[in-house]
Structure 1
Amino acid sequence: MDRIALAFGLLLIACSPALAQDDEPTAGERKTIADCLAMNTGDEIKAMGACIGIIGDRCPDEPGANTMTIVACQMREQKIWDDYLNEWYGEALKRLNDDPGAATALKDAQRAWIQFRDAKCDYWETRYEGGTFASVAAGNCMRATTGERAIEMRTILEDLDH
């Protein structure tokens, strides 16, 4: 039994660089979401929300899809949304330099949102704990919730233009 565990551990270590590469969004994936957002610029949050899942929702239908490939795909889309969120949040904070009260409120809201997101997605991990679906459900939650917050942050940033 120890040999099986050791062999499995070595296999995971050997595969980890390849897995890490699968977690990086491709240029095409980034462009797909950017194009979707560009088509919905100036629209309501709901319209931009249609861009969430444009990458990850199709992953279970890919040829050879399994838990590992689905989670990796979700992580790639989440990374794209996380990058947008960080960019728009940083830009909003810059624009609020002359309003320290609002900047502090935005920072507090973002910290609270991170705690909310983590608790929300931990529910899904716990709900399916012990099964392979746990990582898929939690990954889907992280991807969708991060996308929603990114779009919300974009509307906050757009509001600062007025």
Structure 2
Amino acid sequence: MRVHFALVLALLPVSAWAQDAQVDKSVIAACFDKAPPGAVDPDCIGMAAGICEAKVGSTTVGISSCAMAEAAEWDTILNREYKATRDQFAKIPGIGDQLQAAQRGWIALRDADCQIAYDRFEGGSMRSIASANCRMQHTAHRALELRNMREP
């Protein structure tokens, strides 16, 4: 019982840091907006997570929480871009279904790639950072790819 209580006390600050991990959405929006047509890997991906990390601390939990927070914002953009692309493709018979199948395939690829990123570190603390960064990068790239699929 005493060990369990000590573990809970030890994790309390970690939970507080993770909850404070918030990214500036305007940094991510600017990154998306400023990426030139055809670009899928602008240097600004991860910038909001870096700013967040400076506020919450460069701990494993802080770094991975900030990357997850940025990934969540990129996911919001991705969903918006998926809908806009699907709406534009609705004019072409069958292509909306192809886009949906591609998106499902992309989700499986992202999940498998990020599981590899996690598993590579065999229980080390770096695994959560690697997995969170993988998810952020994949999601940002896919949001830009979806935008690039549409006609200007």
TM range (shorter): 0.7 to 0.9
Alignment partners' CA distance in 2, 1:87 and 1:22: 26
Q: Which residue of 1 aligns with 2:140?
A: 147
Q: Which residue of 1 aligns with 2:37?
A: 43
Q: Which residue of 1 aligns with 2:62?
A: 69
Q: Which residue of 2 aligns with 1:8?
A: 7
Q: Where do residues 32-111 of structure 1 align in structure 2 (5 Å cutoff)?
A: 32-40=27-35, 42-46=36-40, 49-57=42-50, 64-111=57-104
Aligned-residue RMSD, C-alpha:
2.7
4+ residue runs of structure 1 moved beyond 4 angstroms? 10-16, 57-63
Alignment partners' CA distance in 1, 2:120 and 2:12: 28
Would you say the 8 A contact 1:49–1:151 is kept in 2? Answer: no
Alignment partners' CA distance in 2, 1:33 and 1:64: 20
Question: When the two structures are aligned, how many residues end up with a matched partner?
Answer: 152
TM-aligned CA deviation for residue 53 of structure 1: 1.7
Q: Which residue of 2 aligns with 1:124?
A: 117
TM-aligned CA deviation for residue 97 of structure 1: 2.5
Q: TM-score, normalised by structure 2?
A: 0.83
Q: TM-score, normalised by structure 1?
A: 0.79
Would you say the 8 A contact 2:50–2:66 is kept in 1? Answer: no
Alignment partners' CA distance in 2, 1:68 and 1:44: 34
Alignment partners' CA distance in 2, 1:75 and 1:134: 13
Which of 141, 156, 161 is 2:149 aligned to? 156
Would you say the 8 A contact 1:88–1:150 is kept in 2? Answer: yes
TM-aligned CA deviation for residue 64 of structure 1: 3.4
- Percent of aligned positions that are identical: 34
What amino acid is aligned across from residue 64 of structure 1 in structure 2? G
Question: Any gaps of 5 or more consecutive residues in structure 2?
Answer: none
1:64–1:38 CA distance, 2 compared to 1 (3 A): closer
What amino acid is aligned across from residue 22 of structure 1 in structure 2? D
Question: Any gaps of 5 or more consecutive residues in structure 1?
Answer: none
TM-aligned CA deviation for residue 93 of structure 1: 1.5
